[in-house]
Amino acid sequence: MKRRDFLIKAGVGVTAAAATVALTGCEKDKQSEQKGAGPAVITNKKYEWRMVTTWPPKLPLLQTGAERFAEMVKKMSGGRLTIQVYAGGELVPPLETFQSVSQGTVEAGSGAAYYWAGKAPAAQWFAAVPFGLNAQGNNAWFYGGNGLKLWEEVYAPFNVIPRPLGNTGVQMGGWFRKEIKSIGDFKGLKMRIPGLGGKVLAKAGGTVVLLAGGEIFTSLERGVIDATEWVGPMHDLRMGFYKAAKFYYAPGWHEPGTTLEAMFNKKAYDSLPKDLQVILDVAAAECNIWTLAEFDAQNGGALQELIGKHKVNVKRFPPEVMADLKKLADETLEEEADKDSQAKKVHEDFKKFKDQVGIWYSVSEKSYFDVIAKKYSL
Ligand code: CA
């Protein structure tokens, strides 16, 4: 019999165990009392939460990642905290996720912070920054730098607590019907590309077209748009974009490591016993690792299928195009940051941190990749 089952079955044991934990917890609390921290006593009280997401039902790694997170929380808490996960539109419209968590209509949500730019412009820096940090760099900023602290600060007025819940890794630059040879080829180009990346495209003379996921393929196939970005090989293969556009460009300069998020309503989070709060935090961090691992593992196979089976022409943006886009991206970021004091604060910290890890990555990660990537270079 497992220790937990034994304790539950032997009622006396539960009381004794709870009392021990309560005493130990109280002693520790005196030393590190935190405002808003939940009670330290472990009881068998059950909590039933609801989580809404911005993702379509069954969307691999994004919706399924949120569902996996809920499953982990249930297992880790021995069923004391269960989270029912709803895909976008099942309970509330996808883009009402943040608001629903903020108002406490639901206890939790999942999405990507750039969706909430209208509420807090600074939120965009926590999801994806054109020519910003990759997944490794973002995690360094969140856990090792000021990233998560700043993110909490930005969401605090909304009573929302954020946690990184996953990362896509470097995305692809998108599917283009025509070859891109110079920055001039973006002039008049109609492209589906959201967020800050879209603002950069507009600066290059392109037209940003907003389309729901289900409308992209047909629009590309019929020439209503000339190009689209989506995610990476695994998700792009499922969308069938290779049937509608000839050129598949790398890298996703506009989304070099998009962070996915978990959001908790602050009141709901604070009312949980401390161990359940830690379980939420740890399960989110575990899901953050799992998601990136799955993206990396599955994108490799999907890219091979796109090239081998579907004869997709994988290209890199020419270096001059990348340099021009980077210049436009730097200008865009400064302009956007200047519009909002909180965005400015986050942007300055992000830039400083990027330079700091950038120096280190140039001698460590890059030196290493330069050597091993030769074998795989397309
Ligand atoms: Ca994307």
H, E, C per residue of 234-267: HHHHHHCHHHCCCEEEECCCCCCCCEEEEEEEHH
Q: What is the mean pLDDT of residues 221-225?
A: 97
pLDDT of residue 103: 98
Q: What is the pLDDT of residues 72-95, one digit of tens each?
A: 999 999 999 999 999 999 999 999
Expressed in angstroms and rounded, the spacing between residue 338 Cα and the centre of ligand 1 is 25
pLDDT of residue 259: 98
Assess if residue 221 is contained within a domain: no
**Per-residue pLDDT at 318 exceeds 50:** yes
pLDDT of residue 9: 39
Expressed in angstroms and rounded, the spacing between residue 146 Cα and the centre of ligand 1 is 25
Cα distances (Å, whole numbers) of residue 130 to 47, 246, 286, 334: 40, 24, 26, 12
pLDDT of residue 373: 85
Expressed in angstroms and rounded, the spacing between residue 145 Cα and the centre of ligand 1 is 25
**Per-residue pLDDT at 23 exceeds 80:** no
**Range from 31-45, 123-137, 166-180 carrying the lowest mean pLDDT:** 31-45
Q: What is the pLDDT of residues 111-150, one digit of tens each?
A: 999 999 999 999 999 999 999 999 999 999 999 999 999 9
Assess if residue 26 is contained within a domain: yes
pLDDT of residue 375: 83
Q: How many CB atoms lie within 10 A of CB 240?
A: 12
Q: What is the pLDDT of residues 182-209, one digit of tens each?
A: 999 999 999 999 889 999 999 999 999 9
Spatial distance between the Cα atoms of 269 and 112, rounded to a whole number of angstroms: 20
What percent of the chain clears pLDDT 70, i.e. is strictly above it? 89
pLDDT of residue 38: 58
Expressed in angstroms and rounded, the spacing between residue 30 Cα and the centre of ligand 1 is 47
pLDDT of residue 17: 38
Mean pLDDT computed over every residue of the chain:
91
Assess if residue 62 is contained within a domain: yes
State how many domains the chain has: 1
For residue 203, give the H/E element and its range. Answer: helix 195-203
Expressed in angstroms and rounded, the spacing between residue 171 Cα and the centre of ligand 1 is 6
Q: What is the pLDDT of residues 268-295, one digit of tens each?
A: 999 999 999 999 999 999 999 999 999 9
Q: What is the pLDDT of residues 89-117, one digit of tens each?
A: 999 999 999 999 999 999 999 999 999 99
Q: What is the mean pLDDT of residues 343-356?
A: 98
Assess if residue 236 is contained within a domain: no
Expressed in angstroms and rounded, the spacing between residue 289 Cα and the centre of ligand 1 is 19
pLDDT band at 210 (very low <50, low <70, confident <90, very high): confident
Assess if residue 349 is contained within a domain: no
Phi/psi of residue 162, each to 5°? -95, 150
Assess if residue 369 is contained within a domain: no
CA dihedral for 216, 219, 221, 225, sign (positive or negative): negative
Expressed in angstroms and rounded, the spacing between residue 259 Cα and the centre of ligand 1 is 11
Expressed in angstroms and rounded, the spacing between residue 230 Cα and the centre of ligand 1 is 4
pLDDT band at 19 (very low <50, low <70, confident <90, very high): very low
Q: Are 193 and 201 in contact (CB under 8 A)?
A: yes
Sheet of strand 47-53, all strands in order from the earlier edge strand to the far edge: 81-86, 47-53, 108-111, 259-265, 160-167
Expressed in angstroms and rounded, the spacing between residue 260 Cα and the centre of ligand 1 is 12
Expressed in angstroms and rounded, the spacing between residue 231 Cα and the centre of ligand 1 is 4
**Per-residue pLDDT at 342 exceeds 50:** yes
pLDDT of residue 24: 37
**Range from 13-27, 230-244, 263-277, 279-293 carrying the lowest mean pLDDT:** 13-27
Expressed in angstroms and rounded, the spacing between residue 229 Cα and the centre of ligand 1 is 6
**Per-residue pLDDT at 154 exceeds 90:** yes
Eight-state DSSP code of residue 373: G
Assess if residue 101 is contained within a domain: yes
Look up the domain containing 16 and give its range.
2-170+257-296
Expressed in angstroms and rounded, the spacing between residue 280 Cα and the centre of ligand 1 is 27
CATH number, position 103? 3.40.190.170
pLDDT of residue 40: 58
Assess if residue 223 is contained within a domain: no
